[in-house]
Chain A
Amino acid sequence: MSVGKVTFTKVEREKLAEVLWLLNWISVVTGAILLGMGLFLKMEIQKWQEVMSEQGVLYVPHMLITTGLAACGINFLGGKICLDCADTNKFLRWKLVMMPYVICTFFFTACILAGALMCYNIRSELEESLFLGLRYSMLYYKDTDTPGRCYLKRMLDLLQIHFQCCGNTGYKDWFQIQWISYRYLDLRSMAVVDRLRNNVEGKFLMDSVPFSCCSPLSPRPCIQQQLNRPLAHFNFDQQSQHLNLWRKGCRQALLDHYTIIMQSISLIVLLIWLFELLVLTGVRYLQTAMENVIRVGDPESESEGWILENSLAETARSNFNIIKNLGKCYQVDNDPNINVPAMIAEQEIHSEQVQVQRTS
């Protein structure tokens, strides 16, 4: 009771081999596309990796890169095999390799599917990573003289300008950290000392934001200072306040950016997975059809191809038994190749003699 049995004439087999050769070469190209997408994602993550707390998210592009390379290799081999399969003589060369090849490719397509699903699932990890990373970057914004942190001001300014965002969740995050270094604070001034004393931890906090939070779309020059007191500025109504700074938080902005990239990538990877599955099915049919032709003996005759020789349950059972027997390699258990001791052999001869007597 085979699964998906199809009869193939000689012409159909040759056509199938040619089509599969072409499809395998297209799959090499899609493998290269996978590799390209993995590299692109890696570059995009590395561009802003300073605002991410740990780079655990890099496993996704690494997975895509290895899958892409493996796809190129597997489909290149598949192309060579299918080219030779049109001729029964050349098929004999590949006969022993084909079954392992089909199984490997089957597990490999499962890897591709896993890669696609990973791209969808990474969002929450990324959000966590961005939240912590941005918080640290903002804390160390003022430390432009400390090695290891001196680039954070520039990075954060660039980020806010490029992604049109301000702060972690919003611009008010800047009110809770000291983003002006002590080097630029006149500690002799009464105003400065008062403000420092006001704060429990002795931090210089103000209701102002860095210039990179300013929106060029505002009709009026940017107001960065005294944001909690709109009356301190002339004609600073609700609408002006709304347009003055970027409203979006940088965590949200970066998350949106990466989510779009990864959704597109995972859609393309899903399509590639379906294509690979199709090619694999074709190769399986070709393999079984060619094997049956050799079994029949006549290269010109029709032959059958299938996906599984027996039903799914039977195939699972027989594979399970094989795996069990692999485990019990050295145990005596009705293995005809193992030498049976003499006691049991005599019993057999006795039973044969009884049968001979009966027939005569």
Chain B
Amino acid sequence: MAVLRVKFTKTKRDKLAQVLWILNWISVVTGVILFALGLYLKVEINKRVELMAERDIQYVPNMLIAVGLIACAINFLGGKICYDCVDTTKFLRWKLIMLPYIVCTFFFTFCVLVGALMCYSMRGELEESLALGLTQAMRFYKDTDIPGRCFLKRTVDMLQIQFQCCGNSGYKDWFQIQWISNRYLDMSQQHVVDRLRSNVEGKYLMDGVPFSCCNINSPRPCIQQQVTNNSAHYNYEHQTEELNLWMKGCRQALLEYYTDIMQSIGLTVLITWLFELSVLTGVRYLQTSLENVLRQGDPDSESDGWLLENSFMETARINLNIIKSLGKNNHIDTAKNGDPNIDVPSTSKAHYGPDNVPPKTIKEAS
């Protein structure tokens, strides 16, 4: 009771082998595409790694890169095999390798599917990483004289300009941190000292934002200082003013950006997975039909190809037994399924009938 049995004539087998050769080479190209997508994602993450706290998100591009390389190798080998499968004599070279190859490729396609699903599930970890990373970056914005943090001002400014965002969740995040270094605060001025004193931790907080938060779409010159003070600026109401500063938070902006990339990559990987699965099915049919041809002996005759020789349940049971007997390799177990290769001791000898039976006389034909 084979699973999905299909009859193959000789020309059909040849055609299948040729088509599979081409498809395998296309799969090599898709493997290269997977590799390139993984590299691209890695580069994009590394570009802004200073804004991400320590979280394990590098595993997604690394997985894609590894899967891409393995796909190239597997499909390259598959292409060679299918090329030789047109001729039954050349097939004999590959006969022993083909079944392990198919099993390996089957498990490999699982890896591809896992890679695709990982792309979609990375979002939650990324959000957490960005929230923490951005908070840190904004806190160290003013520390342009401390090595290891001196680049953060530039990074945050470029981020806010490029992604058109301000702060972590919004521009008000800047009101809660000191983003002007004490080096540039004139301590001899009374209002500076007052402001420092009025804060519990001695931080210089103000309702002002850096210039990179300014919105280029605003019809008026940018208002960065005293953002919440309506009377400080002519004809200004900060509650209704939406065009003055960027309203979006940078965490949201970056998350959307990376989610877009990963959804596209995930979709591409899913399509690659479906393609690999179809190539694998074709190779399985080719393998079974060629083996059946060899079993029949006549290279030009028809043969059957199938996915599984017996039904799904039976194949599972047989494989389970094989795995079990692999485990019990060195046990002598003649009580149940006696292994014919093990020497049976003489206590249980064969029964040939009773002894001392007189020979029969053969009557002569008259």
Interfacial residues, chain A to chain B (CB-CB below 8 A):
144-145, 150, 153-154, 157-158, 161, 179-181, 183-186, 189, 210-212, 214, 216-217, 219-222, 224, 233-235
Secondary structure of the A contact surface, majority rule: loop
Hey, which chain A residues are within 8 Å of B235, CB to CB? 183-184, 186
* The one of B150, B157, B185, B234 that contacts A216, using a Cβ cutoff of 8 Å: B157
Interface status of B343 (Cβ within 8 A of chain A): no
B213-249: CB near A (< 8 Å → 1, else 0) gives 0101101111010000000011100000000000000
- Among B144, B180, B211, B235, max chain A CB count under 10 A is at B211
User: Min CB distance, A237 to chain B, in Å?
Assistant: 11
Hey, which chain A residues are within 8 Å of B210, CB to CB? 221-222
8 A-B Cβ contacts within 8 A? Answer: A153-B216, A158-B216, A161-B216, A183-B220, A189-B234, A220-B144, A222-B211, A235-B184
* The one of B153, B158, B212, B214 that contacts A219, using a Cβ cutoff of 8 Å: B153
Tell whether, in the assembled complex, residue B221 and residue A210 are in contact, meaning their CB atoms are under 8 Å apart: yes
Tell whether, in the assembled complex, residue A184 and residue B216 are in contact, meaning their CB atoms are under 8 Å apart: no
| Complex Cα–Cα for A206 and B211 (A) | 19
Tell whether, in the assembled complex, residue A221 and residue B220 are in contact, meaning their CB atoms are under 8 Å apart: no
- Among B157, B221, B234, max chain A CB count under 10 A is at B221
A225 to B, closest residue via Cβ: B225
Tell whether, in the assembled complex, residue B217 and residue A211 are in contact, meaning their CB atoms are under 8 Å apart: no
Tell whether, in the assembled complex, residue A219 and residue B145 are in contact, meaning their CB atoms are under 8 Å apart: yes
* The one of B153, B185, B219 that contacts A234, using a Cβ cutoff of 8 Å: B185
| Complex Cα–Cα for A158 and B184 (A) | 29
The interface size of chain B toward A, counting residues with CB under 8 Å, comes to 29
| Complex Cα–Cα for A152 and B210 (A) | 23
A185 to B, closest residue via Cβ: B234
| Complex Cα–Cα for A183 and B180 (A) | 31
Interface residues of B in 229-286 (CB under 8 A from A): 233-235
Hey, which chain A residues are within 8 Å of B214, CB to CB? 211-212
Interface status of B179 (Cβ within 8 A of chain A): yes
Tell whether, in the assembled complex, residue A184 and residue B220 are in contact, meaning their CB atoms are under 8 Å apart: yes
Interface residues of B in 163-199 (CB under 8 A from A): 179-181, 183-186
Interface status of B161 (Cβ within 8 A of chain A): yes
| Complex Cα–Cα for A234 and B221 (A) | 24
A234 to B, closest residue via Cβ: B186
Tell whether, in the assembled complex, residue B220 and residue A144 are in contact, meaning their CB atoms are under 8 Å apart: yes
Tell whether, in the assembled complex, residue A214 and residue B144 are in contact, meaning their CB atoms are under 8 Å apart: no
Hey, which chain B residues are within 8 Å of A179, CB to CB? 221
Hey, which chain B residues are within 8 Å of A153, CB to CB? 216, 219
| Complex Cα–Cα for A216 and B235 (A) | 29
Interface status of B154 (Cβ within 8 A of chain A): yes
Hey, which chain A residues are within 8 Å of B161, CB to CB? 161, 216
Tell whether, in the assembled complex, residue B179 and residue A216 are in contact, meaning their CB atoms are under 8 Å apart: no
